[in-house]
Amino acid sequence: MSKKSKVVTSSVGQVKVVTDKHDNVQFQIPTCFAQAYYLDTKGNPKRQHYISFGAKSTPYNLSLAESQKIHLQAAMSSGTFVAEDESKYKHPDKQLRSNFSNQITRAKSYIFGTAELLNTYLDYRKPQLAPATYKKYVTTFKPIAAAVCQDLQDQLSVRNSIVNYLNIETGKLAGASTRIGTLELLSTACNWGIREEYLPETYKNKFSDYAIEMKHANKGLIHKPIPLNVSPYVNPVQGIRAWTLEERDIIIKAFHDRRTVYPYNQLDPIAYLVEFLFLVGCRHGEAFALNWRDVLSMDDTGRLGNFISITKAWDSHTNVMKGTKTGKHRTVPLSPRCMEILDILRPPGAEMNSLIFKPWKASTFRSAGLNGVWGGSQGKNGMGVVSKLVKEGILKRYMEPYSTRRTFVSTCINVYGISIPTVAKWIGDDPKTLLGHYAAPDNTATPW
């Protein structure tokens, strides 16, 4: 509650720029101004008052605050200051947000459409995201946001237009994972918009619920895009998609038996890479980034044995080395067969920083190259190793290359009886994510 404005001689006290215990910039109001403009809860003049500048203490923000302090001091001294309008003396970004909020309140409408809100949120998040993640968001989700319903008041229409979004290039529905991801990202953007006053506090964000509903509706569908020449041989698979041990070994053998363009006696690195992925369960980019320095004889607890240290990943889209997806470093025990693979691949005098898995004619592996050998390349007649096995009836259905990770998790739990927290540590995820995305049910088990 504030009192009516009045003129206070500026010589009585000066507004100061200070910081609180959380390093937030504030204006400290002198007692004379506090008593003139502010009342406490009992209706008495306040002796002390602070106005938030709305920014952390940095040299740049402090210089801005000093400039705003001059205007605040002048307004208080001249009697033109209005306590309810403190926002005009805040950081410029906060002033803009406050203006947006005021417009929303006055007009009882939403000044941001779907695309504008998502774009503003992505601009805010860009410094905090890995380049590859930001690029994925921009190339995948921004075009959808621009093409769907823009009225955020009509959330159901926005949801329906996302669910029915057609891929511009193919004219077919976008992948289920893409549409679900758009709903999830929009939900996050709306929550951020409410917090930053781009949307009113009364806004009831339903996009997260819509995403969950769509996940349930699409459970069992193949979320990853597959080559057109594979699609006739794809059968819907219910639940989480993982290979059995028998199917895993069939795929591994097929990769080792395939005819390659490599010179006589030249090792086929892709075959050993695929087998390693099945046996270790790491993400593909993590395997691409492994070097000989990562092969250890002791884990992070001091246990002796054979281990692989996973601390980084190679991003095939941006061609940069980055941290793991979850930022977790981990050591994974290596089986005797894994050690055989490493012994086969290790060249004489291998340098510690050289890559373990390296293609014959390129410097690093890429996801597109592995996908092509696995399932076949878009627009080409040649089948991939796995798609050929499906076409010949050796395998009953097709699953994308990332099924190596799900197969590792499911095998560890269902076949070897390893605890969920242990397997979660090995794959660098939490148990909830493991159960929700990686662990397939044991279809051979019985309750007796």
- Main-chain phi, psi angles of 50, to 5 degrees: -125, 140
Residues 186 and 300 in one domain: no
Domain harbouring 202, CATH code: 1.10.150
pLDDT at 421 over 70: yes
pLDDT at 103 over 50: no
Residues 270 and 204 in one domain: no
User: Over the range 254-281, which residues count as b (16 or more CB within 10 Å of their CB) and which as e?
Assistant: bbeeeeeeeeeeeebbbbbbbbbbbbbb
In a domain, 446, yes or no: no
Among the candidates 195, 217, 239, a domain finishes at 217
CA-to-CA distance for 317 and 369, rounded, in angstroms?
12
* Structural domain total, the chain: 3
Residues 313 and 405 in one domain: yes
pLDDT band at 3 (very low <50, low <70, confident <90, very high): very low
Count of beta carbons in the 10 Å neighbourhood of residue 90: 22
**Residues 373-389: pLDDT tens digits?**
898 865 455 688 998 89
- Report pLDDT for 94: 62
Identify the CA nearest to 33 among candidates 66, 70, 77, 1.
77
- Report pLDDT for 109: 40
In a domain, 445, yes or no: no
Residues 317 and 357 in one domain: yes
Domain region containing 22? 10-91
104 touches 83 (CB < 8 A): no
Residues 317 and 293 in one domain: yes
Among the candidates 59, 91, 123, a domain finishes at 91
Residues 65-87 have a mean pLDDT of 79
- Report pLDDT for 4: 41
Residues 205 and 291 in one domain: no
CA-to-CA distance for 241 and 225, rounded, in angstroms?
15
**Residues 151-198: pLDDT tens digits?**
888 888 899 889 888 877 777 788 888 888 899 999 999 999 888 888
The whole-chain average pLDDT of the chain stands at: 81
In a domain, 286, yes or no: yes
In a domain, 151, yes or no: yes
pLDDT band at 219 (very low <50, low <70, confident <90, very high): low
Percent above pLDDT 70 for the chain: 83
Sequence-distant contacts of 114-117: CB under 8 A, at least 24 apart: 114/145, 114/148, 114/149, 114/150, 114/151, 114/152, 114/158, 114/186, 115/142, 115/145, 115/146, 115/150, 116/150, 117/152, 117/186, 117/189, 117/190, 117/193, 117/198, 117/199
Residues 270 and 198 in one domain: no
The token pair that represents 212 in the structure block: 């969950």
Which residue did the predictor score with more confidence, 80 or 347? 347
Residues 396 and 250 in one domain: yes
In a domain, 97, yes or no: no
Residues 298 and 253 in one domain: yes
Residues 304 and 362 in one domain: yes
In a domain, 101, yes or no: no
The token pair that represents 352 in the structure block: 């510690």
Identify the CA nearest to 8 among candidates 73, 69, 70, 58.
73
Identify the CA nearest to 364 among candidates 260, 273, 241.
273
Among the candidates 217, 249, 283, a domain finishes at 217
Which residue did the predictor score with more confidence, 371 or 446? 371
Place of tokens 């004379």: 32
Domain harbouring 344, CATH code: 1.10.443.10
Q: What three-state secondary structure class fits 230?
A: coil
pTM of the model: 0.55
pLDDT at 234 over 60: no
Between helix 245-257 and helix 269-280 the angle, nearest 10°, is: 160
**Residues 29-73: pLDDT tens digits?**
888 888 887 877 777 888 888 888 888 888 778 877 887 888 888
Residues 151 and 237 in one domain: no
In a domain, 105, yes or no: no
Residues 68 and 137 in one domain: no
Strand bridging mode 295-298 / 304-310: antiparallel
90: left (phi over 0), alpha (psi -120 to 50) or beta: beta
In a domain, 222, yes or no: no
pLDDT band at 441 (very low <50, low <70, confident <90, very high): confident
Which residue did the predictor score with more confidence, 233 or 70? 70
Q: What single string gives the DSSP state of each residue in 378-410?
A: TT-SPBPHHHHHHHTTSSSS---TTHHHHHHHH
- Report pLDDT for 183: 93
